[in-house]
């Protein structure tokens, strides 16, 4: 068993978990923050993306113990107030349908802006979304959402 | 995932000592290959020894013409290094196209080359840049390091600590990704070294993993241009065939990627 | 801003999804919950000689290990296909037995033979690995064309030569005669590739048995929870219908794959009773690839005859449809009534004959996937039209146009009676948006950059709102395909709409609320759409086949009619006015031509206080309705795709994609455009990227995203979408449906464009870079030889 402690969405959390516990399992099952999703087993779909120490990672491909001592932000903790500008942009631009990939998309999008700035062209956004799969939207409105959200961050 | 025991190493020595006291341990760095493999229950190490927090294995040092990248340096860090980009942009560009942005935040150069996935990008660069692979025990010449698919010269208790190579005169990497996995279906790193040699590393295509294409190297040594390699033969018999591409197509891709890399080199 | 019909209202449901507060099945956790792990066959075809559960039963955390003999011993019935399709000789379809846990034979890789229930997912899986199954391998066949040959491995004793049915539609003799007289016959060999639907949320079930009430609750990833409950009780005898509550909460995409009732839901319910525990199962992605019903997989030979003036005179089609190892719920309907009935396309064709043989193979069951039969028909017709135009040396656009149906209603030779449409206007709009006329200049410019540029068109028609119930019943459907709705007006005037439709991304909470806004002027925020729970909604048929608009909303309209009529009666009584003079708008109830007004909420309160109701009127304001459509609806459109191919690598880039659709009345254009975007991306996926591939031993080679190519953001372009509307005369709102059109119309446009670019028409889907490169090589070799 691993004794872990980390900051999740600004709150200190911790406990004893099996060493094999994935970060996403810790977030979903132990913390009951179910906005972070699991859509594949091979680290490709990106539904599980969270920020660890300010950087987007796939929480299905990270052990909870690897994140011990880190600061973690999930979709539930992204907004500082009602909605984060990127969340608002996904709503304003119909950037989601079933909503399952959406938390990972939004966490990937904010990370994209953190790294590349607010002025993102379509090609950059499409390339940067390599690690996030959506089956509903055909990406058209996700690209628009990210462009819009980036400009307002 | 089967049960395992996680340990965070504080130093290379600590990692070696933890490895020595475990039953069937594996080193883990970014874990971007190992953890999915463990999730699928295709690997079941008794212990995992995490190298990501070993400070001596992190960071990029540039000493004149000599570049050293710590094994625990992430792909994102390599991609973002301005100092490195100033003298070897090709390696930064390569790092910026490994996996996806999230994977690049975790995955490390040491993990990539120690795993030697036949479709990984870094091994092609190491081959072409004539890198020296530093471990806790010795320094291994890149030509001796990669010994076949998922095989390297590393001993069980040996850790890659850094890679070192001279800044090339010109270099570039061109990759044609597998449409599904986005790993390289053929990736070619070309380097014109300052000693006058040309080296060509090919990944994704070889039936035995990464390899150098010596005919192209010879041609490029005399004339660093894409036309010089137009007549070089890529032997399809030595290449992989799978669901996504047969060996003839891969042979074509190796040639096309090599030409494009030469044209893009700077 | 208007929130009525036609307004781009932002989605009410979004907030919970963008903040991580959506509630999907796997998010449901019950106290003391256990987890199911299935023991699955690693062989595509084998006899199960024995199952040894003893080691697994003793393992850490295991509550129970169960096999198929226990399941059938408890009276759990076999899984059935709910649509009976007879062969042309009148014999019934040859349906083999499918037990939720195989007892003596496994027929595809992934076929479940046992289940472990344990206290954690990891313990359940570890114990599942300890269940020892002794298999005797049998010969395997995965290709449908091979499976029907004499001497092929026999998969079910009920189906000789693996033939499920040999069905036909249309007049064969007349079609043959017309082909014989044709001036030109275009012959096509077409394979429609097998796909895995891949909703991003994997299937999941949480089953709970309450021993005190002898009652079951099932949370599940379903597009049609009431159908699931009906089938689970009436056919599988898992629980009586009144003792089973099925809840489909937020569902992360369906695309057809979540219509069917699968072994896992049956087993979880049954196991929750056996163990007296709440049992959760969530597929991992590999299980999804192995067990979610696949789509398409047709092998077809077709002949289209033209007269000397290039008018189509006949179309003859011979299709072999691979249905996999078992008959899934609607598997028989997809390659017959949803496919061959659309073979007239947008065209006047006097003679059509189609023969369809449905075949068992040792592969995952195949059923409806977004479009279901219509993409197969559309691909066949539109590839044929484009090919014929090239062979005849005429413009593909003109050849289509001269053959368009222009008068409605139009009876085709294959059942369908098209009720409306304006195909030429759609084609005009698409050609204008795509600058079709300017294409050759763009081709020349691309050539100067070393790129092969091509353009391809597709003029599709499809059928939605499968109906009326009596008609589909006569064709073999085991259910009626109507929809129900209930409108409950609360005493304060807010409204709850209970619908049998189910939203899993379609935005019903918004579009359905727009109907109420349109009718009464109430803000969308005052309307709650309730769906997906059999305890709340009395019955419903669910969402698939683009039916929620044309059928689901029509039921709401009928209920609203009743609510409006009663509210007007109450208001007339309260205002001492004539009922015919009452007008309801902007949340007010008025007497026309006077200043007499009541607030909507006052009328509603009046209905519930019942202090001043018309003589004999029951209190309350709540009305229900069932709506059974009079006809199918017929969305249609024209899609134009433009590509650039890199001749060195064979990689295709879609540089422009134009869609001009006729969906009838549009309630929310933003949502409709989103449906087109998503459908087109799935069609591009089929055309360029996706294929479920088996090796000869029946192993699925594309069992993860490492090998199954999902469209990613950089694989697809931004889409140019527009609408040309003709109103559907068959339902009160004039809606045709929009959910599947994108996936139906786009694949032929893409392949027509690539084959145009590379000058080789011999190209199958998916047109991967390797395949396109090989086709370019073949074409160059051929040219060199000439």
Please tell me if residue B176 touches chain C, with a CB cutoff of 8 Å: yes
- Cα–Cα distance, C181 to C175 (Å, whole number): 10
Instruction: State the average pLDDT over residues B163-190.
Output: 97
Statement to judge: residues B80 and B112 lie in one domain: yes
- At residue B260, does pLDDT exceed 70? yes
Structural domain of C64:
36-138+203-282
CATH number at residue A69: 3.10.20.30
CATH number at residue B154: 3.30.465.10
- Cα–Cα distance, A142 to C209 (Å, whole number): 41
Of B6, B38, B102, the CB nearest to A131: B102
Of A36, A134, A143, the CB nearest to C718: A143
Neighbours of chain B (3+ CB pairs under 8 A): A, C
Residue A147, domain member (yes or no) = yes
Distance from the A82 Cα atom to the nearest Cα atom in chain B, whole angstroms: 26
Contacts of C59 in chain B (CB under 8 A): none
Instruction: State the average pLDDT over residues C185-201.
Output: 98
Check: pTM over 0.90? Answer yes or no: yes
Structural domain count, chain B: 3
- State whether B100 and A130 contact (CB < 8 Å): yes
Question: A75, A98, A115: which is the final residue of a domain?
Answer: A75
- State whether C714 and A134 contact (CB < 8 Å): no
Contacts of C651 in chain B (CB under 8 A): 176
Of A44, A74, A101, the CB nearest to C20: A74
Residue A30, domain member (yes or no) = yes
- Residue B33 · residue A58 · CB < 8 Å: no
Task: Output the DSSP codes for C22-68.
Answer: --BGGG---TT-EEEEEEE-SSSSEEEEEEE-HHHHTSTTEEEEEEH
* Residue C569 CA: distances (Å) to CA of A110, C119, C590: 55, 59, 12
Could you report the per-residue pLDDT of C505-551, keeping only the tens digit for each? 999 999 999 999 999 999 989 999 999 999 999 999 999 888 899 99
CATH number at residue A138: 1.10.150.120
Statement to judge: residues B258 and B209 lie in one domain: yes
- Cα–Cα distance, C97 to C746 (Å, whole number): 37
- State whether B181 and A44 contact (CB < 8 Å): yes
Q: Which of residues 209-238 of B touch A (CB under 8 A)?
A: none
Q: Which pLDDT does position C120 carry in this prediction?
A: 96
- At residue C239, does pLDDT exceed 90? yes
- State whether A106 and C504 contact (CB < 8 Å): no
Q: Which pLDDT does position C80 carry in this prediction?
A: 94
- At residue C786, does pLDDT exceed 90? no
Of A39, A76, A135, the CB nearest to C285: A39
Statement to judge: residues B91 and B161 lie in one domain: yes
Distance from the C263 Cα atom to the nearest Cα atom in chain B, whole angstroms: 23
Q: Which pLDDT does position C190 carry in this prediction?
A: 97
Contacts of C773 in chain B (CB under 8 A): 249, 252
What are the phi and psi torsion angles at C285 (to 5°)? Answer: -65, -35
CATH number at residue B239: 3.30.390.50
Structural domain count, chain C: 3
- State whether C709 and B243 contact (CB < 8 Å): no
Q: Is the peptide bond before C766 cis (omega within 30 degrees of 0)?
A: yes
Statement to judge: residues C65 and C211 lie in one domain: yes
Residue A122, domain member (yes or no) = yes
CATH number at residue C108: 3.90.1170.50
- Cα–Cα distance, C69 to C60 (Å, whole number): 24
Residue matched to tokens 């212990």: B47
Could you report the per-residue pLDDT of C132-149, keeping only the tens digit for each? 999 999 999 999 999 999
- How high is the ipTM of this complex? 0.98
- At residue C380, does pLDDT exceed 80? yes
Statement to judge: residues A12 and A51 lie in one domain: yes
Question: C592, C607, C627: which is the final residue of a domain?
Answer: C627
- State whether B3 and A2 contact (CB < 8 Å): no
Q: Which pLDDT does position B127 carry in this prediction?
A: 97
Q: How many CB pairs under 8 A join A and C?
A: 177
Statement to judge: residues C266 and C369 lie in one domain: no
Structural domain of A51:
2-75
Question: A19, A45, A75: which is the final residue of a domain?
Answer: A75
Instruction: State the average pLDDT over residues C318-344.
Output: 97
Task: Output the DSSP codes for chain B.
Answer: ----EEEE-SSHHHHHHHHHHSSSEEEESS-TTHHHHHHTTS---SEEEE-TT-GGG--EEEETTEEEEETT-BHHHHHH-HHHHHH-HHHHHHHTTSS-HHHHHH-BHHHHHHHT-TT-SHHHHHHHTT-EEEESS-EEEHHHHEEETTEES--TT--EEEEEEEPPSEEEEEEEE-TTT-SEEEEEEEEE-TTS-EEEEEESSBTTS-EE-HHHHHHHHH--SGGGGTT----GGGB---SS--HHHHHHHHHHHHHHHHHH--
**Half-sphere exposure in the Cβ direction for C543 (13 Å, CA):** 28
Selection from C674, C682, C685 nearest residue C721 by Cα: C674
Structural domain count, chain A: 2
Residue C194, domain member (yes or no) = no
Statement to judge: residues C122 and C80 lie in one domain: yes
Of A18, A102, A143, the CB nearest to C18: A102
Distance from the A29 Cα atom to the nearest Cα atom in chain B, whole angstroms: 16
Q: Which pLDDT does position C546 carry in this prediction?
A: 87
Statement to judge: residues A94 and A57 lie in one domain: no
Q: Which of residues 68-97 of A touch C (CB under 8 A)?
A: 74-76, 79, 83, 87, 90-92, 94, 96-97
Of A2, A58, A111, the CB nearest to B6: A2
Selection from B198, B215, B196 nearest residue B254 by Cα: B215
Could you report the per-residue pLDDT of B75-105, keeping only the tens digit for each? 999 999 999 999 999 999 999 999 999 999 9
Instruction: State the average pLDDT over residues C259-285.
Output: 97
Of A47, A130, A138, the CB nearest to C680: A138
Statement to judge: residues B161 and B183 lie in one domain: no
- Cα–Cα distance, B9 to C38 (Å, whole number): 38
- State whether C709 and B179 contact (CB < 8 Å): yes
Statement to judge: residues C665 and C622 lie in one domain: no
Q: Which site among A136, A146, A149 would you substitute to test the C interface, given the most C Cβ atoms closer than 10 Å to its Cβ? A: A136
Instruction: State the average pLDDT over residues C265-278.
Output: 98
Percent of chain C with pLDDT over 70: 100
- At residue A81, does pLDDT exceed 90? no
Structural domain of B157:
55-166
Residue C10, domain member (yes or no) = no
Instruction: State the average pLDDT over residues A64-78.
Output: 97
Statement to judge: residues A18 and A64 lie in one domain: yes
- Cα–Cα distance, B46 to C57 (Å, whole number): 25
Structure tokens at C637: 């459109």
Q: Which pLDDT does position C466 carry in this prediction?
A: 81
Residue matched to tokens 């709506």: C627
Q: Which of residues 24-53 of A touch C (CB under 8 A)?
A: 28-29, 32-42, 44-45, 47
Residue C17, domain member (yes or no) = no
Query: pLDDT confidence of C467, banded at 50, 70, 90?
Result: confident
Distance from the C252 Cα atom to the nearest Cα atom in chain A, whole angstroms: 5
- At residue C18, does pLDDT exceed 80? yes
Contacts of B226 in chain C (CB under 8 A): none
CATH number at residue B19: 3.30.43.10
- State whether C770 and B180 contact (CB < 8 Å): no
Could you report the per-residue pLDDT of C555-586, keeping only the tens digit for each? 999 999 999 999 999 999 999 999 999 999 98
Residue C610, domain member (yes or no) = yes
- Residue C508 · residue C531 · CB < 8 Å: yes
Average pLDDT of chain C, as a whole number: 96
What are the phi and psi torsion angles at C683 (to 5°)? Answer: -70, -40
Average pLDDT of chain B, as a whole number: 96
- Cα–Cα distance, C304 to B253 (Å, whole number): 39
Statement to judge: residues C128 and C262 lie in one domain: yes
Instruction: State the average pLDDT over residues C603-618.
Output: 96
Statement to judge: residues C423 and C353 lie in one domain: yes
- Cα–Cα distance, C92 to C84 (Å, whole number): 7
- State whether A98 and C671 contact (CB < 8 Å): no
Statement to judge: residues B158 and B116 lie in one domain: yes
Residue matched to tokens 């048929």: C541
Question: C598, C627, C656: which is the final residue of a domain?
Answer: C627
Residue C179, domain member (yes or no) = no
- Residue C381 · residue C308 · CB < 8 Å: no
- What is the end-to-end Cα distance of chain B in Å, rounded? 45
């Amino acid at each position: 068993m691993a004794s872990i402690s980390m900051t999740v969405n600004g709150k200190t959390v911790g406990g004893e978990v099996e060493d094999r516990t994935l970060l996403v399992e810790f977030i979903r099952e132990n913390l009951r923050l179910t906005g972070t999703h699991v859509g594949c087993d091979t680290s490709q779909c990106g539904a599980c993306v969270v920020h660890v120490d300010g950087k987007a990672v796939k929480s299905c491909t990270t052990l909870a113990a690897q994140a011990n001592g880190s600061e973690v932000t999930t979709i539930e903790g992204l907004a500082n107030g009602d909605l984060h500008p990127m969340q608002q942009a996904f709503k304003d631009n119909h950037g989601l349908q079933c909503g399952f990939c959406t938390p990972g998309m939004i966490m990937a999008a904010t990370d994209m802006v953190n790294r590349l700035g607010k002025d993102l062209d379509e090609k950059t956004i499409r390339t940067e979304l390599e690690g996030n799969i959506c089956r509903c939207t055909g990406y058209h409105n996700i690209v628009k959402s990210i462009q819009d959200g980036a400009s307002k961050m | 995932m089967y049960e395992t025991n996680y340990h965070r190493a504080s130093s290379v020595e600590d990692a070696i000592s933890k490895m020595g006291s475990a039953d069937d341990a594996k080193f883990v760095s970014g874990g971007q290959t190992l953890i999915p493999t463990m999730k699928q229950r295709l690997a079941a190490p008794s212990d995992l020894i995490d190298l990501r927090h070993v400070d001596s294995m992190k960071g990029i040092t540039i000493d004149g013409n000599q570049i050293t990248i710590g094994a625990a340096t992430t792909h994102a860090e390599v991609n973002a290094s301005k100092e490195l980009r100033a003298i070897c942009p090709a390696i930064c560009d390569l790092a910026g196209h490994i996996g996806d942005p999230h994977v690049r935040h975790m995955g490390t150069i040491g993990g990539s080359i120690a795993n030697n996935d036949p479709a990984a990008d870094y091994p092609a660069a190491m081959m072409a840049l004539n890198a020296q692979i530093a471990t806790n025990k010795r320094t291994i010449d890149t030509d001796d390091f990669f010994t076949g698919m998922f095989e390297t010269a590393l001993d069980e208790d040996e850790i890659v600590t850094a890679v070192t190579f001279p800044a090339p005169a010109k270099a570039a990497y061109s990759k044609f990704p597998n449409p599904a996995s986005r790993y390289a279906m053929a990736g070619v790193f070309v380097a014109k070294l300052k000693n006058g040699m040309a080296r060509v590393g090919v990944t994704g295509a070889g039936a035995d993993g990464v390899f150098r294409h010596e005919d192209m190297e010879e041609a490029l040594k005399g004339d660093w241009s894409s036309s010089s390699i137009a007549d070089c033969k890529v032997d399809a018999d030595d290449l992989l065939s799978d669901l996504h591409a047969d060996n003839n197509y891969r042979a074509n891709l190796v040639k096309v990627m090599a030409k494009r890399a030469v044209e893009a080199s700077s | 801003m208007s929130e009525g019909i036609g307004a781009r209202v932002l989605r009410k449901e979004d907030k919970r999804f963008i903040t991580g507060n959506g509630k999907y099945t796997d998010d449901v956790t019950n106290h003391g919950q256990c987890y199911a792990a299935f023991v699955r066959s690693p062989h595509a075809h084998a006899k199960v000689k024995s199952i040894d559960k003893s080691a697994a039963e003793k393992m850490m955390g295991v509550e129970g290990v169960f096999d198929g003999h226990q399941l059938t011993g408890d009276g759990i019935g076999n899984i059935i296909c709910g649509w009976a399709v007879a062969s042309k000789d009148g014999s019934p379809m040859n349906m083999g037995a499918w037990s939720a846990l195989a007892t003596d034979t496994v027929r595809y890789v992934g076929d479940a033979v046992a289940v472990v229930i344990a206290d954690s997912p990891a313990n359940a899986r570890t114990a599942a690995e300890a269940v020892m199954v002794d298999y005797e391998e049998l010969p395997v066949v995965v290709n449908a064309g091979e499976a029907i040959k004499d001497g092929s491995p026999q998969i079910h004793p009920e189906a000789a030569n693996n033939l499920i049915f040999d069905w036909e539609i249309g007049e064969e003799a007349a079609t043959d005669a017309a082909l014989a007289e044709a001036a030109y016959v275009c012959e096509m060999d077409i394979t429609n590739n097998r796909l895995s639907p891949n909703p991003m949320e994997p299937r999941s079930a949480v089953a709970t048995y309450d021993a005190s009430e002898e009652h079951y609750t099932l949370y599940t990833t379903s597009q049609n929870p009431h159908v699931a409950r009906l089938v689970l009780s009436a056919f599988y005898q898992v629980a009586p219908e009144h003792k089973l509550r099925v809840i489909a909460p937020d569902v992360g995409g369906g695309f057809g794959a979540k219509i069917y009732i699968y072994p896992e839901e049956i087993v979880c319910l049954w196991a929750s009773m056996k163990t007296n525990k709440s049992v959760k199962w969530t597929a991992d992605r590999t299980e999804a690839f192995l067990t979610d019903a696949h789509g398409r997989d047709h092998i077809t030979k077709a002949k289209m005859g033209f007269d000397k003036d290039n008018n189509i005179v006949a179309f003859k089609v011979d299709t072999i449809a691979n249905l996999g190892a078992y008959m899934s719920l609607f598997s028989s309907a997809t390659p017959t009534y949803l496919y061959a009935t659309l073979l007239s396309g947008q065209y006047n064709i006097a003679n059509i004959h189609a023969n369809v043989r449905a075949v068992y193979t040792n592969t995952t069951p195949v059923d409806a996937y977004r479009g279901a039969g219509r993409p197969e028909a559309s691909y066949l017709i539109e590839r044929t039209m484009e090919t014929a135009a090239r062979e005849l040396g005429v413009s593909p656009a003109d050849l289509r146009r001269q053959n368009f149906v222009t008068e409605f209603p139009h009876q085709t030779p294959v059942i369908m009676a098209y009720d409306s449409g304006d195909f030429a206007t759609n084609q005009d709009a698409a050609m204008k948006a795509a600058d079709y006329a300017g294409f050759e200049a763009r081709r020349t410019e691309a050539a100067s950059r070393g790129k092969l540029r091509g353009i391809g068109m597709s003029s599709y028609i499809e059928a939605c709102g499968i109906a009326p119930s009596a008609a589909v019943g006569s064709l073999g459907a085991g259910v009626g395909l109507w929809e129900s709705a209930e409108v409950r007006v609360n005493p304060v005037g807010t409204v709850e709409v209970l619908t049998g439709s189910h939203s899993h991304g379609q935005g019903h909470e918004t579009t359905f609320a727009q109907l109420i806004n349109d009718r009464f002027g109430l803000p969308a925020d005052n309307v709650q759409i309730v769906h997906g729970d059999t305890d709340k909604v009395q019955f419903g048929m669910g969402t698939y086949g683009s039916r929620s608009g044309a059928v689901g909303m029509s039921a709401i309209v009928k209920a609203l009619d009743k609510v409006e009529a009663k509210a007007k009666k109450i208001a007339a009584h309260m205002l001492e006015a004539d009922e015919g003079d009452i007008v309801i708008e902007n949340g007010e109830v008025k007497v026309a031509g006077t200043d007499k007004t009541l607030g909507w909420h006052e009328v509603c309160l009046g209905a519930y206080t019942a202090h001043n109701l018309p003589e004999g009127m029951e209190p309350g304001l709540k009305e229900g309705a069932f709506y059974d459509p009079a006809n199918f609806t017929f969305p249609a459109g024209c899609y134009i795709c433009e590509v650039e191919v890199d001749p060195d690598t064979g990689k295709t880039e879609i540089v422009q994609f134009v869609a001009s659709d006729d969906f009838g009345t549009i309630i929310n254009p933003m949502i409709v455009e989103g449906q087109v975007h998503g459908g087109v991306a799935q069609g591009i996926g089929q055309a360029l990227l996706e294929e479920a591939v088996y090796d000869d031993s029946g192993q699925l080679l594309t069992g993860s995203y490492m090998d199954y190519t999902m469209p990613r953001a950089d694989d697809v372009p931004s889409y140019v979408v527009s609408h040309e509307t003709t109103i559907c005369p068959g339902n009160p709102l004039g809606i045709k449906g929009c959910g599947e059109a994108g996936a139906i119309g786009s694949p032929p446009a893409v392949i027509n464009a690539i084959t145009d670019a590379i000058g080789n028409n011999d190209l199958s889907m998916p047109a991967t870079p390797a395949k396109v490169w090989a086709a370019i090589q073949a074409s160059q070799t051929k040219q060199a030889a000439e």
